[in-house]
């Protein structure tokens, strides 16, 4: 099942980490559609209008692949921005 990411900052973060030269300027409202399988991220870029018209469930295939090691954690579902559980007391040392 493919996942759609609409946040432009996240899409740019993905391309910065993967070191791909991708020009998002040609898209009015880009959407990154991806899936993670066997340590590979398979992805394509779609225009929001096209994806709304045909639906995410009709995406059949991908244009590019990238090793998951060069992708942000949010792509793997490991989003952990909550640092409240970290104990920073110096008394523990």
Q: How many domains does the chain have?
A: 1
φ/ψ region of 64 (left if φ > 0, alpha if ψ in -120 to 50, else beta) reads beta
Domain assignment present for 83: no
Q: Is the pTM of this model over 0.85?
A: no
Residue 19 lies in a domain: yes
Residue numbers in the chain where pLDDT is lower than 70: 78-93
Alpha-carbon distance 13 to 85, whole Å? 26
> Which pLDDT value is given to residue 49?
95
- pLDDT the model gives residue 70: 86
Range of the domain at 23: 3-77
H or E stretch covering 33: strand 30-37
What tokens appear for 82 in the block?
């909550």
């Amino acid at each position: 099942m493919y996942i759609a990411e609409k946040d432009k900052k996240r899409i740019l973060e993905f391309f910065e980490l993967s070191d791909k030269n991708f020009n998002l300027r040609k898209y009015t409202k880009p959407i990154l559609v991806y899936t993670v399988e066997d340590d590979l991220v398979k992805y394509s870029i779609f225009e929001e209008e096209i994806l709304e018209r045909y639906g995410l469930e009709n995406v059949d295939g991908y244009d590019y692949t990238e090793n998951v090691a060069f992708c942000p954690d949010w792509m793997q579902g490991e989003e952990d921005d909550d640092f409240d559980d970290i104990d920073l007391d110096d008394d523990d040392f």
